[in-house]
Structure 1
Amino acid sequence: MRSRLAAHPLGCVLALALALRLPLAIWGQDIVAPDEIIQYFGQAHRLVYGHGPVPWEFQVGMRSWLLPGLLAGPIWLVKALGGAPITGLILDKILLCLASLSLVGCAYGWGRMFHGARGGWIAGGLAALWPDLWLMAPHPLEESLSAYALVPACYFATRARQSEARAHSLAAGALLGLSFVLREQLAPAIALIGLMLCGRSPRRWALALAAAGLPVLLAGGLDWLTWGQPFRSFWLNIYLNAVLGVASGSFGGEPVSFYALHLLEDWLWAIIPIAWLARRGARRLPMLALAAMVILVEHNLLGHKELRFIFPAIALIVPLVGVGLAERPLSRKLVLALLSGLLLSPVTAYALLEDSSATSLYSALAARHPCLVAVGIVNSHFVPMTPLFTSTDFTSMQEAARADAIIAPEDTPIPPGFTRDRCVVRDRFFPGKHPLMICAWTRGQGWCGQAGPAPPPPGFVYPPAARGFIITGR
């Protein structure tokens, strides 16, 4: 066994990472943010099956079709083979877990680069075990996918500065361009990495800029093909959110202490060894440390804050901690303090346990009603959704009546035409004194079981600033 581990260290580290990620992809019920259902899985489902609600972002052309298009491929393949929609979504989540291995592989590479095979084991193993990374793995969000490109970009940039190999500069540039396409808010960090990559080398600047321009131009062309205007999703996102303040106006602002407090909640006492070890790792990898700081500072300046927004910074911090941990002989007390804080975090427990029984309603609906597409949640305090259907809050009971199914507390008024399917007691991480009974109601066989064209998408509350950009006929 020891000889096999020694012969294939990277494979063993990646296998460990997959052992934690794949169960979440196949059986996990949690979500990180509604966007993964409404904006991505839901729109991928609509591309393949031709029906489903259309969020306002896709009626004004503020979102790129890149992610929904990529997610639609496995869903289409499963449909062509006669499988159920849920099987296609599980396949998507498995592929997302495979993409997340780029973080583990790069951490291993940096550890081996500076501290040999032992350093690769330590840095790669820590990235495999780090809960923030494996909890995010099955979720199709801009923040996670951009991190899967940004961290390898830093790795190839590090290699390019060491070896001057043209392939490394090209790979770093292409991945930086892809990171920008996936999440343009990373532009300051991407610019910093580009500056540190290229320095005063005209050759490296030419290679990196040419490679970075390719994914950006392709994304602009995709907007032209889908929205009729090149780069529409880029400039409209900036204009609506940064200039007109749609995000802050719709979701509210948070204080500058938001991220610090949430990281303390996420990492508990482990935040102390994390800071110390990351500082040690920054001596070897200043590019990662500076890029992570830029992301944290930039997002602290924005009013609308969510912990997932700084996931790329966390993905950069993890290898810094791993390289710092490998710098000296391992201390059992240090490793225990680090891993116990991460694994005992209430954030980790919440993601794994919260609402596990209530979200099982979706699995039951998927098994008995494979044609259901739109599931309305008509009570805002019932938040959890699982990517089996497109789920959304409708603007009124009249709009909810056009859904295929409704998930809501037992005493919620339900429009006529729905039949109660089943109920469960909401399994809450903090249950309180009064357990909440959650029920599912269904209407017929869903849109895909009806003859004729699908009905128009249900109505949504549009931000007033976005109304002028509504695209009709799409």
Structure 2
Amino acid sequence: MASFFRGITPKYIILTGCLFTLLFAFFSNEVYHPDEHFQILEYAHMKLFGTPVPAELPWEYILMMRPGLQPMIAYGLGWLLDAGGIYSPYLLFSLLHVLSGALSIVSVLAFYRVVRGTLSGPSEEKWLLLLSFFLWFMVYLHVRFSSETFSGNLLLLLVSVYLSYGQRERKRPFVWGAGMGLLAGAAFISRYQVGFALFGFGLWLLVFARRWRLLAGLALGGAAMLGVGVLVDYWLYGTWTCSPVNYLRENILNSHIDKFGIKPWYFYLSDTVSKGFVVYGLAILAATCWFFVRNPKHVITWTMVPFLLAHQLVGHKELRFLFPVLPFIPFFAVLLARDLPQRLLRNRIVRLVGVLAVVLNFALIVYNVIPIKNTDIFFYRMMDDYCRGKERVCVLNVKDEPTYYSYGEFMIGPRVVTARFYMPRNMELRLAGSISELEREARRLRRTCPDVFILSGDERLPEHTALPVEKVAWNPYPKWIIRYFNFNDWVSLSIRRKNLYKVGASAGEK
């Protein structure tokens, strides 16, 4: 281990890690989960340009359940770009990723600064930095402008500030507490579920710290940030509301969240292993459990255990719900490696697994920045290129069919959610109730608009409609991949149900 780090300093790792994170942010062009798009970007687009209208937004907006903090950040950045005449949804998306990457860098470095004194020498310090900046799932999550990543970074900063306070002379506890309260409140109003972690953090302070000025400052700072949350929610919804209460009422008391599916008790264990490609998943579980067992009175243990237990008790489970824990994993892993027998680390099989893990780590990082795997973005850019310079482009589809621009939703009754964030300004989206209604609308539009398209899941639409339509051939993969590596037509799998057809001029003839 020592020979591996010979000539490499922590400063070099930090500089390389910061540059790598920001570059990855620019190359990353996807969201991990649709919520990252529909609960932030579409909200911001609505406030910027008036579309989509509230009726076209997901059910959570109608019930005023989502926080307004991140949509307001996206709105503010989008407003600046629009005022400067350089607005582009792709540029805004990239800048939000850079912003998230910058926050991740700050939180990683703050945590490293306060825990390096607990590490056994420079080697462990370097491993902590390497894992924090270059472990593939950390690289991927650092740049996500999602509530999970945002709140996880704020939790890491909160713990870092408290540990830093504990290492000093503990002067001005009220001021330190107010700062921690602001961080805690910001974490909560970005993702309400972190309230369980904050409960554990506050309970630890009451049991082990009991510095009342610190707690008073924490309460004041937290209350101030909750007030900010109320204001940004008013900005988002246009009325006074308490969205955390709305979230609790609709998802827990009214059990809306259960409609997304109930998972078994072992889901988080099995999914961590499978989604972590076994070796990383097992390491995450082992390092986390080891830290909790070895450090039962640590503030991180008291913060994370209630958070994990609360999610375990909820029937609907998704791995992303636990992402706020991941910023602590590199620290857990370094401490686990310290306690492992040295002869085990020198074992040939263990070393071979380590080499394979490094190779797989590199491959996963490369895979996560390959642009062609994101067919949605490729399609949006294609439509941008086509619409550029045209006065009007009309796109139709049957509302029950999911496309790149809409999908059906049935949580609080049948409705259609539309995605306007990437839609060109001169493009009109029309939704028909049936294929016959779509055909009538296409004929009507074709009389006045030369560019009328149909989005359809039917691969053989020309055979199933009386409309004169021609399929637009498109594929996100380069021609050399399609020509030489398209075994069993795998390159069409991701777009097979999302076809684009142009309506011919004869459709508009009377």
Report the TM range for the smaller structure's normalisation. Answer: 0.7 to 0.9
> Highest Rg: 1 or 2?
2
The superposition leaves residues 72-101 of structure 1 with CA deviations (integer Å, 9 ceiling, x where unpaired) of: 122222222222332222222211211222
Shift in CA distance, 63/417, structure 1 to aligned 2, threshold 3 Å:
farther
Structure 2: gaps (5+ residues): 408-418, 443-451, 504-510
Q: Which amino acid aligns with 2:47?
A: L
Cα distance in 2 between the residues matched to 1:317 and 1:279: 11
Secondary structure of the 2:373 match is coil
Q: 1:158 to 1:230 in 2, by over 3 A?
A: farther
Cα separation, 1, equivalents of 2:219 and 2:6: 44
Distance 1:425 1:154 in 2: 43
Deviation at 1:332, TM superposition (A): 6.8
> Residues 111 and 323 of structure 1 are in contact (CA less than 8 Å); yes or no, is this contact kept in structure 2?
no
The corresponding residue for 1:207 is 217
Partner of 1:30: 30
* 1:254 is aligned to 2:263: yes
Which gives a bigger RCO, structure 1 or 2 (Cα 8 Å, sep 6+)? Answer: 1
Deviates further, 293-302 or 45-54: 45-54
Match of 2:411 in 1: none
Q: 2:507 maps to which residue?
A: none
SS at match of 2:375: coil
- The runs of 5 or more residues in structure 1 that have no matched partner are 445-474
Which residue pairs with 2:475 in the alignment? 424
Q: Does 1:356 align with 2:347?
A: no
Query: Are 1:74 and 1:88, in contact at CA under 8 Å, matched by a contact in 2?
Result: yes
| SS of match in other structure, 2:475 | strand
Rounded to whole Å, the distance in 2 between the matches of 1:50 and 1:237 is: 25
Aligned to 2:360: 344
Amino acid paired to 1:41: L
Question: Amino acid of the residue matched to residue 170 of structure 1?
Answer: A
1:411 maps to what in 2? 459
Question: Matches of residues 61-460 of structure 1 in structure 2 within 5 Å?
Answer: 61-83=64-86, 84-115=88-119, 117-163=122-168, 164-165=170-171, 166=173, 167-198=175-206, 199-227=209-237, 229-249=239-259, 251-267=260-276, 268-278=278-288, 281-282=291-292, 283=294, 286-325=298-337, 331=345, 337=353, 340-341=356-357, 344=360, 351=368, 356=373, 358-359=375-376, 360-369=378-387, 380=402, 389=422, 409=457, 411=459, 422-424=473-475, 433=488, 435=490, 436=492, 438=495, 441=500
Identity %: 19
CA contact (8 A) 1:189 1:294 kept: yes
Aligned length: 437
Cα distance in structure 1, aligned partners of 2:156 and 2:224: 19
| Distance change in 2, residues 1:50/1:274 (3 Å) | closer
Q: Secondary structure at the match of 2:61?
A: helix
Q: Please point out which of 59, 74, 80 is paired with 1:56.
A: 59
Shift of 1:160: 2.5
Aligned counterparts of 1:86 and 1:266: Cα–Cα separation in 2: 28
Give the deviation of 1:71 after TM superposition: 0.7
Deviation at 1:420, TM superposition (A): 5.6
Q: 1:85 to 1:276 in 2, by over 3 A?
A: closer
CA shift digits 1:237-275 (9 cap, x unpaired): 1100010011212x1111112111111013312444445
Change (3 A) 1:203 1:243: same
Provide the rounded CA distance (Å) in 1 between the counterparts of 2:461 and 2:177: 60
Distance 2:320 2:111 in 1: 20
Question: Aligned partners of 2:111 and 2:469: how far apart in 1?
Answer: 52
TM-score of the superposed pair, with normalisation by structure 2: 0.71
Q: Which deviates further from its counterpart, 319-328 or 174-183?
A: 319-328
CA–CA distance in structure 2, aligned partners of residues 432 and 349 of structure 1: 22
Q: CA RMSD in A?
A: 4.5
